[in-house]
Every structure is written in structure tokens, then in C-alpha cells.
């Protein structure tokens, strides 16, 4: 296709999509982006684009439409195809009646639009395939991301407002004995160990791709240390259960990652001080996804590293890892979604509460007058 004809094609399509006014920059981007061979000729092409865009913008919308049908009839077929494809695409390896999805929020703050993407996709696909949708509270960090009773209730209320049908509800903090049993199995198999190195010393060895001195000690010694962790023989920060991985893995964070640690006086809102050994996110999540029969996981792209870590556990037990769909972040320009920043703003009096209409929490959007159907449709 001649360069001039190509420019006419993109300029008319851009004008048609933007109320009769093509944007020269958008047209240049399209011409050079989809035709890399033309990039070396950019200096010659830019003036030509500007000239053609000016001519296109001088036409009436009817004239633009007629010309577009003449030079780019496929545009209307593609547009029709896109309209027909509205809705969710098929889910890989999905069988009707056998899809199990989960949404696993941390109840340390209000449910917000950033969380809603994983939640809506999980729920919509479960319903689309006549499957099961699980709400699992990821509440095993009573120290840094401390759960609060009110947020368990608010998350359920917000999901109800979004017209979710929840098939099962679980709290990770109710399942600590289950995590302990799997930790002990892994230690007995020689796939996990108790590390008592100071954190900075372990990081130094890890970054050099070297083994911690406790890594290859006998299983009997490891099990004794494990029982000592459970029985109060170590204090917070003195012992950690680590999953054995590849010490030469290109990402140091994957090397012998921590699975369980001690928290003194956790005062957890559900279990009080009954437990002192708490699983970290990747361990609890991996075990629960298997135990609850989760087949498909929807998570942000920033969690791709978590899958790499969790697959070690799945491989050790011979389990099949769920199908994982990673998605980008969802945000609103100028709106705070971070729970820590929101909490800080509320504390400082900048916001009136978790439902302040300037925030991106579901409660705030609801108060602003946004409808639940709009949020679901946006994400779908």
C-alpha cells in the first residue's frame, strides 16, 4: 500500500472514532507503530500526515464516512466484530461446572477499585461456567497488615452490593493447624528447613547464591527446631521456616523464600494469642488454593513472582497448579487507592472516612452515586 493511501486510511479511521476530528499525533503513531519499515522516513512522513489530517478534518462526517468505506471497508467489519465480542473471552482449560475461583482480600482496609478487578473477573467466570466462587480472607499478618473486624463485614457488604453470589467463605486465620501440618510434611520430606540465621546474614548468603548453614542439617534436627518454634522456644525474628528452591535462581527473592515466622503477642482479632507461628502470604495461599480446589486464579501482574515461589510447593507435593491469569492495575486518575495512604489521610483528617467520595473504595464510589453495574461493566 502506498504511504499516502495508508495515511488516508488511518486519518479517516481516527476522525470517524473522534467526532470528525483526526489527531495528527495519533495518526503518526499508528502509521509508524504498525509499519516499522517507515520509521526511518519519519521526517518525510510527518508533514504528509499533517497535510492529510487537515484535508480529512475539512470534510463533513458524512464525507469522511463515505471516503472511509472506499479506502478502508474492513474498518466497519472489524468494528462490528469488536462489538460482537463484547464480554469476557473464553477461559483457558475451563470445564462447565468444574471452575473454582477465589477472591482473597486482606481485611486490613476497605475494599477498593484496585481489588475489584480480580474480584469481578473471579466471580463472573465462576458464574459463566456454573462453577464456584470462594471468598477467602487473607488475614495471617497480624503485625504489618493487621486485619480489623469491621473490614471483614464491609468486604462482604460491598460484594453483596456488587451483586456477587458467594458460595463459600473462609478465613486463613482459622486454618493455621492445616498450614502447620503441611509445613511439617515439607520439613520431613527435606523440602523445607528452619533457619535461625539473623535476617541480614541470610540475605547476604542468598544474594551470593550460597546456602544457609542450617539448610542441609538432618531432618530430625529441623523437626526439633520446628517444634521449638511452636512451643515458644524461639522469640520473634529468631527462627523462620524456609522452602528450599534453586539457590542460583536469577531472582534472589525466589531463593529459599520464607514460609512461616514467629509473631510474639499477635493479638489477632479472630484467634487472639492462641498461635505464635504464622504463615506468610505465599505459603498460606498455595496450600489453600490446593485444599479449596481452586482451578483458576486472577491476580495483578505484580504477583507473577508469587506464582514462581508457590510452584515449588506444588511440585514437591505433585499437585497441578491452577491456571493463572495476570492483569494490569486498574486506577482512577487523581484518586488514591492505596490502603496505607488512605488510612494515613483519614488519621490526619484529610479524608472524612473510608467512604469519602474523593477515594476509590467501593463504599466511596457507592456514596458518589456510581452504580454496581457500571463497575462490573468497566472491568469486563
Q: Can you read off the three cell numbers belonging to residue 22?
A: 483526526
The answer on pLDDT for 1 being more than 60 is no
Q: Which residues touch 113 (CB under 8 Å, ≥6 apart)? A: 330, 331, 332, 335, 337, 360, 361, 362, 365, 375
Give me the pLDDT at residue 78, please.
64
Average pLDDT over residues 109-126: 94
CA distance 281 to 333: 29
Average pLDDT over residues 341-366: 93
What CATH number matches the domain at 177-282, 3.40.1550.10, 3.90.800.10, 3.40.50.300, 3.60.21.10?
3.90.800.10
24-63, pLDDT tens digit by residue?
A: 988 988 888 778 788 888 888 999 999 999 999 999 988 9
Give me the pLDDT at residue 81, please.
52
The answer on pLDDT for 341 being more than 70 is yes
Between 335 and 180, whose confidence is greater? Answer: 180
Give me the pLDDT at residue 159, please.
97
Give me the pLDDT at residue 71, please.
86
Average pLDDT over residues 112-128: 94
Q: Can you read off the three cell numbers belonging to residue 347?
A: 488519621
Lowest mean pLDDT among 28-42, 77-91, 97-111: 77-91
The answer on pLDDT for 300 being more than 90 is no
Domain 100-175+292-379 has CATH 3.40.50.2000: no
Chain region(s) in the chain for CATH 3.90.800.10 = 177-282
Lowest mean pLDDT among 74-88, 116-130, 166-180, 186-200: 74-88
Chain region(s) in the chain for CATH 3.40.50.620 = 100-175+292-379
Task: Encode 40-102 in three state secondary structure.
Answer: HHHHHHHHHHHHHHHHHHCCCHHHHHHHHHHHCCHHHHHHHHHHHCCCCCCCCCCCCCCCEEE
Amino acid at each position: 500500500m502506498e504511504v499516502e493511501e495508508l495515511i488516508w486510511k488511518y486519518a479517516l479511521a481516527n476522525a470517524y472514532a473522534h467526532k470528525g476530528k483526526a489527531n495528527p499525533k495519533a495518526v503518526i503513531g499508528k502509521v509508524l507503530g504498525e509499519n516499522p519499515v517507515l520509521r526511518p522516513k519519519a521526517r518525510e512522513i510527518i508533514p504528509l500526515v499533517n497535510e492529510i489530517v487537515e484535508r480529512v478534518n475539512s470534510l463533513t462526517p458524512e464525507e469522511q464516512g463515505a471516503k472511509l468505506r472506499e479506502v478502508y471497508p474492513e474498518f466497519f467489519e472489524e468494528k462490528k466484530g469488536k462489538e460482537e465480542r463484547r464480554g469476557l473471552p473464553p477461559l483457558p482449560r475451563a470445564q462447565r461446572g468444574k471452575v473454582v475461583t477465589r477472591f482473597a482480600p486482606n481485611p486490613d482496609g476497605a475494599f477498593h477499585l484496585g481489588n475489584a478487578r480480580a474480584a469481578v473477573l473471579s466471580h463472573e467466570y465462576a458464574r459463566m461456567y456454573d462453577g464456584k466462587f470462594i471468598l477467602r480472607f487473607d488475614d495471617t499478618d497480624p503485625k504489618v497488615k493487621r486485619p480489623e473486624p469491621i473490614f471483614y463485614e464491609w468486604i462482604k457488604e460491598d460484594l453483596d452490593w456488587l451483586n456477587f453470589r458467594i458460595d463459600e467463605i473462609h478465613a486463613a486465620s482459622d486454618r493455621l493447624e492445616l498450614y502447620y501440618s503441611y509445613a511439617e510434611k515439607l520439613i520431613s520430606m527435606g523440602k523445607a528447613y528452619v533457619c535461625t540465621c539473623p535476617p541480614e546474614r541470610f540475605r547476604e548468603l542468598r544474594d551470593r547464591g550460597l546456602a544457609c548453614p542450617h539448610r542441609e542439617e538432618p531432618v530430625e534436627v529441623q523437626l526439633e527446631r520446628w517444634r521449638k518454634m511452636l512451643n515458644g522456644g524461639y522469640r520473634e525474628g529468631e527462627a523462620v521456616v524456609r522452602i528450599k528452591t534453586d539457590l542460583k535462581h536469577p531472582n534472589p527473592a525466589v531463593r529459599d523464600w520464607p514460609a512461616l515466622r514467629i509473631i510474639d503477642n499477635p493479638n489477632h482479632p479472630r484467634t487472639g494469642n492462641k498461635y505464635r507461628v504464622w504463615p506468610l502470604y505465599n505459603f498460606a495461599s498455595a496450600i489453600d488454593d490446593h485444599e479449596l480446589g481452586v482451578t483458576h486464579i486472577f491476580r495483578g501482574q505484580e504477583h507473577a513472582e508469587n506464582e514462581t515461589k508457590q510452584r515449588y510447593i506444588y511440585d514437591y507435593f505433585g499437585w497441578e497448579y491452577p491456571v493463572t491469569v495476570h492483569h494490569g492495575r486498574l486506577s482512577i486518575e487523581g484518586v488514591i487507592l492505596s490502603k496505607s495512604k488512605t488510612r494515613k489521610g483519614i488519621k490526619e483528617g484529610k479524608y472524612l472516612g473510608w467512604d469519602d467520595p474523593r477515594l476509590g473504595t467501593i463504599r466511596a464510589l457507592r456514596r458518589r452515586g456510581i452504580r454496581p453495574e457500571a463497575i462490573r461493566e468497566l472491568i469486563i
